[in-house]
């Protein structure tokens, strides 16, 4: 099956590490121009080099996820640099954090508002695309109680509802909107890598619930993400796909 992505223009928020990076480089491997944004200029440079090694164009800006104007500017600059946009993936995240009040604001800005801001700026360009798609990266942690009550889980839940409503609103405009719920994912520099060492009991508790006793690799998440954004999934919109290797136990009817 051909994903039919070659030549597409893709923007991935937070595409310099982990799942976001894996999504960005997989799009590049499929022949797409890819733009990313993240905190670290060095990681952006490295990822851009990796993207360009597939013979496609890249774009990238170092920014703080809670700087709304910076996210908007990056989105506009990406569309300018690529001359349009076909796919927007919102994967920027503040990660987990304790339940302190400030973390709610941080999660709100970075996980939720960076997505809404990027979508707003991308919308006029997506509208003119032949194969427009938006993918919102939520989390399995939105669907089941997970670790502890914290802003992260709740903001990821908000993303699901929002993306479903977007899907309905954007469908007539030819823009598909889907949502992805990755389960625990291990990659170099992931929070799980830290938790495995620094909070080994939490880690082994989570691993015990994973039927295969391992976490996902970032690319295993990215493959589903890229599929949902590709023309091969053209009848899929308003869907929430959980990719967790069987971690969650609830039955979705």
Partner 1 sequence: MTIQRIKPGDYTKTPIDKTEDPDFGTDMIPKTRYTSREFMQKEWDRLWTKVWNWGCASEDVAEPGDYIVTSLGKEEILITRQPDGTIKAFYNVCQHRGNRLMMGQGNATTFRCNYHHWEYRLNGEFENIPDIESFPQGAPPCGGLTEVRSREWNGFVFFCLDPDGESFEDFIHPLEEHLGPYHFDRMVKVTDWTVEWECNWKTSVDAFNESYHVQGIHPELLYFIEDKHLQIDTYDKHNRYLIPFATISHRVNETTEIPHLIKHAMKEAGMDPADFDGRVSEVRGALQKFKREHGAEMGIDYSDLNDEQLTDDYHYMIFPNITMNTHAEDLMLFRQRPHETDPDRMYFDVQMFKLLKKGEEKPRKPKNERFKHGERSMGLVIDQDAANLPGVQRGMHSEAYEGLWLGDQELRIRHFHKVLMDYVQED
Among the listed residues 83, 95, 205, 211, the single contact to partner 1 using CB under 8 A: 95
Per the annotation, the verdict on 152 as an active-site residue is yes
Query: What separation in angstroms does the CA of 47 have from each of 92, 206, 231?
Result: 15, 30, 25
Q: How far is the CB of 101 from partner 1 (least distance, A)?
A: 8
Tokens (6 digits) for 201? 């009991």
Angle at CA of residue 194, ends 191 and 199, nearest 5°: 110
Q: How far is the CB of 188 from partner 1 (least distance, A)?
A: 5
Under the binding rule (CB under 8 A), the answer on residue 96 touching partner 1 is: yes
Among the listed residues 80, 100, 120, 168, the single contact to partner 1 using CB under 8 A: 100
Window contacting partner 1 (CB under 8 A); options: 24-32, 156-164, 184-192, 213-221: 184-192
Under the binding rule (CB under 8 A), the answer on residue 102 touching partner 1 is: yes
Q: What is d(CA 123, CA 170) in angstroms, rounded to the nearest whole number? A: 9
Under the binding rule (CB under 8 A), the answer on residue 74 touching partner 1 is: no
Among the listed residues 103, 123, 146, 227, the single contact to partner 1 using CB under 8 A: 103
Under the binding rule (CB under 8 A), the answer on residue 149 touching partner 1 is: no
Under the binding rule (CB under 8 A), the answer on residue 40 touching partner 1 is: yes
Among the listed residues 39, 54, 57, 72, the single contact to partner 1 using CB under 8 A: 39
Window contacting partner 1 (CB under 8 A); options: 28-36, 98-106, 121-129, 160-168: 98-106
Per the annotation, the verdict on 9 as an active-site residue is no
Q: Are 45 and 21 in contact (CB under 8 A)?
A: no
Under the binding rule (CB under 8 A), the answer on residue 64 touching partner 1 is: yes
Q: Closer to partner 1 at the Cβ: 4 or 193?
A: 193
Window contacting partner 1 (CB under 8 A); options: 51-59, 94-102, 159-167, 206-214: 94-102
Under the binding rule (CB under 8 A), the answer on residue 99 touching partner 1 is: no
Catalytic positions are: 138-139, 152, 156
Q: Which residues bind partner 1 (CB under 8 A)?
A: 17-18, 39-40, 64, 66, 93-98, 100, 102-103, 105-106, 188-191, 193-194, 197-200
């Amino acid at each position: 099956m051909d994903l039919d992505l070659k030549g597409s223009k893709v923007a991935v928020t937070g595409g310099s590490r982990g799942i976001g990076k894996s999504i960005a480089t997989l799009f590049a491997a499929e022949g797409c121009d890819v733009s990313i944004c993240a905190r670290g200029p060095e990681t952006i440079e490295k990822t851009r080099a990796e993207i360009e090694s597939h013979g496609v164009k890249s774009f990238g800006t170092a920014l703080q996820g809670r700087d709304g104007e910076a996210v908007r500017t990056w989105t506009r600059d990406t569309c300018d640099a690529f001359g349009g946009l076909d796919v927007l993936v919102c994967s920027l995240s503040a990660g987990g954090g304790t339940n302190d009040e400030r973390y709610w604001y941080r999660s709100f800005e970075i996980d939720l508002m960076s997505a809404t801001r990027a979508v707003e700026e991308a919308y006029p360009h997506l509208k003119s695309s032949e194969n427009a798609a938006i993918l919102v990266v939520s989390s399995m942690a939105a669907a089941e109680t997970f670790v502890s009550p914290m802003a992260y889980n709740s903001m990821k839940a908000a993303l699901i509802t929002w993306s479903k409503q977007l899907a309905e609103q954007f469908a007539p405009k030819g823009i598909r909107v889907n949502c992805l719920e990755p389960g625990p994912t291990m990659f170099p520099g992931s929070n799980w890598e830290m938790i495995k060492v620094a909070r080994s009991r939490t880690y082994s508790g989570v691993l015990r619930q994973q039927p295969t006793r391992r976490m996902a690799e970032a690319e295993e998440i990215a493959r589903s993400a890229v599929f949902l954004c590709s023309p091969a999934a053209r009848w899929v919109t308003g869907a929430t796909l959980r990719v967790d290797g069987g971690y969650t136990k609830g039955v979705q009817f």
